[in-house]
Amino acid sequence: MFSAFFTGFFLGLSLIVAIGAQNAFVLRIGILRQHVFFVALFCATSDALLICIGISSISIFFNNFITQFESLLFGISSIWLFGYGLMRMRLVFKSDSAIEIETKVPKGLVPTISILTILTFANPHVYLDTMVLIGSISQQFSGDLKIAFAVGASLASFVFFFSLAYGAKLLLPIMKSTTSWRILDLLISFIMFTIAIKLAFLGNWL
């Protein structure tokens, strides 16, 4: 039982720990202290839902779907992420970025979750990781062991996203510096561009 649980936990953690578009957004939200709990909860719950769907054997169908439409999915995701990268890059050249962070009214919860929904579900890799890969590996377990595996993989998402969102607050004193904020936006834009180019190549758009 514990073996299946920890197999799912460490597998889920290893797949989600890499910084990507969604994680970069959660980091920014954590620093800004905007809807931290709901953002972390949304990300973790979304992952857990996709993991449960994959483990329920729908992963076999979805794997065929992605294979058939991967070029279109990768292309759309590449364009969207590139646009998001441009938005972050624009902030690098704004001299008052740190001042705006202190004075502007935080975005509403609905717009924030809307952006996060796109970052989460428009990324083909989230389906490949949570549904196809985790769903396929789970087939080695059955009964209670499969449930333990699913709980472990799902719990990894909750541990990671809540740690990332609330841990980001520790960076707040550093991010009061305009230079530090520019560096963060530059890093985020670089991540966006890198992922966008990779997706474009995978979809044979480049």
Residues 126-173: tens digit of each pLDDT: 887 787 777 777 766 777 888 899 999 999 999 989 988 898 877 666
Is the pLDDT at 101 greater than 50? The verdict is no
Residues 51-67: tens digit of each pLDDT: 988 888 655 665 666 56
How many domains does the chain divide into? 1
Q: What is the residue-averaged pLDDT of the chain?
A: 78
Q: Given this model, what pLDDT does residue 39 score?
A: 93
Q: Are 53 and 61 in contact (CB under 8 A)?
A: no
List the structure tokens of 100: 């705006």
Q: Are 178 and 33 in contact (CB under 8 A)?
A: no
Q: Is the dihedral of CA 206, 202, 73, 61 positive or negative?
A: positive
Please state the pTM of the whole predicted model: 0.68
Cα angle for residues 111, 46, 201 (degrees, 5° grid): 85
Q: Is the dihedral of CA 87, 89, 90, 92 positive or negative?
A: positive
Supply the range of the domain harboring residue 150. Answer: 2-202
Q: If you average pLDDT over residues 19-46, what whole number do you get?
A: 85
Q: Given this model, what pLDDT does residue 134 score?
A: 78
What distances in angstroms separate CA 86 from CA 60, 115, 145, 192, one per listed residue? 36, 15, 45, 9
Q: Given this model, what pLDDT does residue 102 score?
A: 45
